[in-house]
Structure 1
């Protein structure tokens, strides 16, 4: 799998994504009484979606105010009192509300001759409805409690269930949309709207999800791969959310076990808010000794100290601006906490199982992307990364104070002359020679490396033909 540019903002997204996984069933909740453990877990998920830590109205925090304004403008570019309006450009403004409609949005018509594009129309439609209903429940939004908005969302959800995503729909195009894209959006919508859905609506929507991902490792659509890593996590989270909504302990247990298989080497100290002390609890098996001597004694503080340092260096405010509302409150708490900032990190890390290496010295970082019998040269699927031919042949990345040096890198770089690689210029076709495990495993040996006190390192790979 190729490495792409990871900025501090995208690293943050990864870290906070793990935070979502770990707090999925154990984070703080909204101050609303839970009727049973399932309701309690749903309230905790509401907190993660809305980020509704107490804040005074009207909103005075300029960053939070800007976030709410962006959310609102995406829904309608018109004044709230006149929304939706025919001249507007928000997703509510351009929603097709006709009784005899064949689509919800004209740019997502479900008529493309390309099945991948057509299946993407389903996910994108649900994501737009998610953005609409999120502002309905967000305090401080101009559309908070707007009944017309909620009713349009409900009508559109029923249309999508009847026409596109249900227990009898024949899947087409990209498996991802049926098993990950739609379930993620639809279960979040369910978490938000459960109290505003009829029993029949909740059953219908969640039956559609269950049809395509009856369990975390399901492969119900042609072309879906063996579920591991991020794909398994994505499906497990949706299975868990559905289990919470329909109060199905078996589904939650299945999701818990899938998450545990991915995070087998995460210690309880790193994830203090894993499953609560209920029937769904699982004890994390690993210890600091299993993780190795470089694993921090206090991983939570280490992660928070790292984030605090990044935030202190983010003079353009990219991290806070791009974070979700919930993430924003979490980051503000870290900034205002007594946790010491980590400072600049130096050292060398060899990730042998991923065929990657990172070398950090004062003022710069250097990354190296290799391949072996564990990791193929590059991955190209679903019409993505079709020219990543040489990203596993020694591609190097240099990071320094120039935070914009990789802006528009991939659209402009010569794919035959990537930094650090030595390749010929034979004409390549899109997605050629991506994954041929039976052949590649015989030809490529694993990288060999030496770490010299964290200041210098030697890394190379042998090839056998």
Structure 2
């Protein structure tokens, strides 16, 4: 049975097709300035030369410029494109229902949903292959450049598809995306690249088909599948059909229909004020759908610049701001963190590519190129800064460099290469900061030498997303998954074969019932969400207290989990771990992939442990552990910690239907706390120290209370730490109460940090988003209140600081920061 490919999977599947989109220099369309109208039927038609100017601009955007076709990596990529195109040409066998043997789009039973998805997907894949062939004709150095006979064969293939299946009057079946976005975009690109080879009859048929499947009404209301990234893609389809059909009204529709994308949202799909980006209502998606939206906006902004359809909506500034508020925080050394990529993490092997080809690095590289593209529409200061950011990411990407990535399209390679080779651009370093995204239950912590990302779930954000047969075992990616990377080490930790081989019940940082779950357990498209409200935290931008009321997927498991993000590491606390599934419950301290042959030394309390796979041992009250080449772990309260070495074999097809079946093997070292079967009010405490040496780890363990914790609270009512060396006290209150010098009247998160010059910051948030009033008392002398947010109705200094908050429900979990003077 053919494979039910995913809608976005198709976009990523072909090296020369939709996966290569991006921006280069584009000229305004000249005489199109007088062509605008809001009436599709009565639009004044600009001259043929005006439309050709726009088509020329689009060709420049999707093909790239300023690169040498004889220089690497372009020469090899263009040669492969040409070789593939020649092979596809030779293999063409137009018959009813297909253009190539084995790529059948005729659906004999439209009522069978899975098969319908398969067949509609084959339409898209066929059109994307034709698009790659058209690029081979248009690009230099392919061996088919400007070959008129080859162009005629490609046009003949287009004619066959449009006559046989993708035409007005054809009933749509399978996945809507294939008919409205993926398929028509490839078709329209092909038509623009080969426009001089199309006759009037075929041009009319193409535009009539696209109008039938994507009418103006597809963007009349901002609902359903016409929001966020999907809306941008629909506008792109409509705009390109206007170029091919020389229809000014379609361009007007596309330009005006983008406006609902720009404003911040407070629920559902789109960009949030705190930098969160959500698609499919419940799924953090900056790394996949968000990346596609970024690319699409970049293209449309450049295409329409200087024309009557130029996109000038002031709210577009939100997306310029989002470069550093929503996308850059999730980029590290060239990769894009998987926690915001939804089901795309299961696409390690797109059809027809090699293992590990579509991973966090490729997604990061593509986003970097799109940021550079968007810079052309931004002000010079922003553009210069983004170029400096991109150069820094590229130079630090020691594992997989974006400017040499063989999976990027020519134009995106050209974009990044220009910046890397520009000696006038000075690379910017990674910032030292904490970024909390309460609207998508994510947090990112950056320190010199490492970065970490936390992934959680709530009644606002799903446990995980699966759909179209993708990400079948991503069940626990929202259960407190704490991923981390080093600046010069472990940059490939979640790349290559990680998702195909990792134990899905033992993701780092998670607390999980070992109850066996079915592939795709829970609802599709992120519909399954826990009935938990307290998820979020407080941050001053440098340190943070973050917590999660964990409720397991298809499980009775419940726990209170907290993370305190500091300089040398992350303090991880768990309390109230309770379940009644009749299954063991684990908290995974870490689970590090060592590659196929890794033998990294594991040391526990100064003793080296065996290096052979298949070894396991439980330690009672360990003080510390260290994994060579990765970092250290401190256990301030001891407990029972199990170490496990294993060699795991998996296939991408295990987690993504129809993907590669080639067995892949990786070695792992796992540290976990075994809470036993059906635990009741159990807990854990450990400190993750990325990059620490064994000596440093042992030293910190020996003086842990003096160095890092000072004091620790870890109960189902409150979890907190005091760190005298940093001047930080942080507590997640799960109920009203007192911890040390802090008293609160309701559940909340509080972080107090002493600053220089006798000042302190008191940071408070309501992760539940339910509080209409809150009182926070800090038993510390305060002489004056320097600044306070509007949510603070009364701030009383004195021998203690009393902050009285009003309604916090509208703050969406954002931190409320009050600055005081303590001397």
Gaps of at least 5 residues in structure 2 are 1-11, 33-46, 110-114, 265-270, 272-296, 329-378, 552-557, 559-823
Supply the distance in 2 between the matched residues of 1:310 and 1:438 (Cα, whole angstroms).
35
Measure, in 2, the Cα distance between the counterparts of 1:121 and 1:323.
Answer: 23
- Give how far 1:315 is off: 4.1
Which of residues 525, 529, 539 in structure 2 aligns to 1:451?
Answer: 539
- Indicate the RMSD between aligned Cα atoms, in angstroms: 3.7
1:96 is aligned to 93
- Counterpart secondary structure, 2:99: coil
- The equivalent position to 2:103 in structure 1, one of 84, 102, 108, is 108
Partner of 2:439 in structure 1?
353
SS for the counterpart of 1:376 is: coil
Q: How does 1:380-399 map to 2 (within 5 A)?
A: 380-399=466-485
Structure 2 residue 164 is the aligned partner of structure 1 residue 75: no
Name the counterpart of 1:226: 225
1:389 touches 1:434 (CA, 8 Å); kept in 2? Answer: no
Q: Per-residue CA shift, 1:154-212, capped at 9, x if unaligned? A: 11111111111111112222222112211111111122122211111111012111111
- Contact 1:350/1:356 (CA < 8 Å) preserved in 2? yes
Give 1:426 deviation, angstroms.
2.3
Question: What's the counterpart of residue 145 of structure 2?
Answer: 144
- Pick from 511, 517, 525 the counterpart of residue 422 of structure 1: 511
Q: Which residue of 2 aligns with 1:39?
A: 52
Number of the residue aligned with 1:312 = 395
Q: After superposition, give the CA deviation of every residue in 1:401-434 in whole Å (9 maximum; x if it has no partner).
A: 2233222111112222222221212232232323
Distance 1:29 1:136, change over 3 A: farther
Cross-structure match for 2:75: 65
- Quick check: 2:180–2:237 contact (8 Å CA) kept in 1? no
SS at match of 1:61: coil
Pick aligned residue for 2:413 from 328, 353, 360:
328
Equivalent pair of 2:28/2:304 in contact (CA under 8 Å): no
Provide the C-alpha distance between the structure 2 equivalents of 1:448 and 1:235, rounded to a whole number of angstroms: 34
Where is the helix percentage greater, Structure 1 or Structure 2?
A: 1
Given that 2:435 and 2:444 are in contact with CA atoms closer than 8 Å, whether structure 1 keeps it comes out as: yes
Q: After the TM superposition, which residues 162-181 of structure 1 pair with which residues of structure 2 at under 5 Å, given as runs?
A: 162-181=163-182
Alignment deviations for residues 252-275 of structure 1 (CA, whole Å, 9 cap, x no partner): 222223333323479xxx978574
Question: Which of residues 299, 302, 305 is equivalent to 1:276?
Answer: 305
> Does the CA-based 8 Å contact 1:378-1:435 persist in structure 2?
no
Q: Residue 446 of structure 1: CA displacement?
A: 5.3
Distance between the aligned counterparts of 1:17 and 1:256, measured in 2? 23
Moved more, 35-44 or 234-243: 35-44
- Greater RCO, 1 or 2 (C-alpha within 8 Å, sep 6+): 1
- Structure 1 263/301 Cα, relative in aligned 2: closer, same or farther at 3 Å? farther
Bigger mean CA offset, 388-397 vs 272-281? 272-281
**CA distance in structure 2 between the partners assigned to 1:345 and 1:302 by the alignment:** 13
Residues 39-85 of structure 1, C-alpha deviations (whole Å, 9 max, x = no match): 22211110012214475xxx431222112112112223xxxxxxxxx
Where 1:91 maps in the other structure, the secondary structure is helix
Q: Please state how far the C-alpha of 1:457 moved relative to its aligned partner.
A: 1.7
CA distance in 2 between counterparts of 1:448 and 1:379 reads 20
Name the CA distance, whole Å, in 1 between partners of 2:383 and 2:126.
Answer: 37
Query: How many residues are matched?
Result: 420
Contact 2:58–2:303 (CA under 8 A) maintained in structure 1: no
Give me the whole-angstrom Cα distance separating, in 2, the residues matched to 1:410 and 1:242: 39
Give the structure with the larger strand fraction.
2
Whole-angstrom distance in 2 between the partners of 1:277 and 1:145: 30
1:175-324 to structure 2, matched below 5 A, reads 175-215=176-216, 217=218, 225-264=224-263, 273=302, 275-286=304-315, 298-315=381-398, 318-320=401-403, 321=405, 322-324=407-409
Does the aligned pair in 1 maintain the 2:184–2:237 contact within 8 Å? yes
Q: Which stretch of the first structure deviates more once superposed, 423-432 or 364-373?
A: 423-432
In the alignment, what sits opposite 1:403?
491
Residues of 2 paired with 1:233 and 1:121: CA distance? Answer: 23
User: CA separation of 1:299/1:371 partners in 2, compared to 1, >3 Å: closer, same or farther?
Assistant: farther
Residue 122 (structure 1) aligns with: 123
Superposed displacement of residue 102, structure 1: 4.7
Q: CA deviation at 1:111?
A: 5.4
1:80 is matched with: none
> Separation in 2 of the partners of 1:302 and 1:40?
31
Residues 43 and 390 (structure 1), Cα distance of their counterparts in 2 relative to 1, 3 Å cut: same
Cα distance, 1:367 vs structure 2? 0.8
Deviation of 1:131 after TM superposition, in Å, equals 1.0
Distance in 2 between residues matched to 1:64 and 1:364, nearest whole Å: 33
Structure 2: distance between partners of 1:183 and 1:117: 17
Distance of 2:186 and 2:19 partners within structure 1: 15
Matches within 5 A, 1:423-442: 423-434=512-523, 440=529
SS state at 2:453 partner: strand
For each residue in 1:314-352, what CA deviation from the matched residue of structure 2 results, as whole angstroms up to 9, or x when unmatched?
Answer: 346641233322222222322233232112232111122
What CA distance in whole angstroms lies between the structure 1 residues aligned with 2:502 and 2:138?
A: 44
- Gaps of at least 5 residues in structure 1 are 1-9, 77-89
Alignment of 1:17-36 (within 5 A): 20=22, 27-28=26-27, 35-36=48-49
- Separation in structure 1 between the aligned mates of residue 20 and residue 70 of structure 2, nearest angstrom: 30
TM-score (norm 2): 0.47
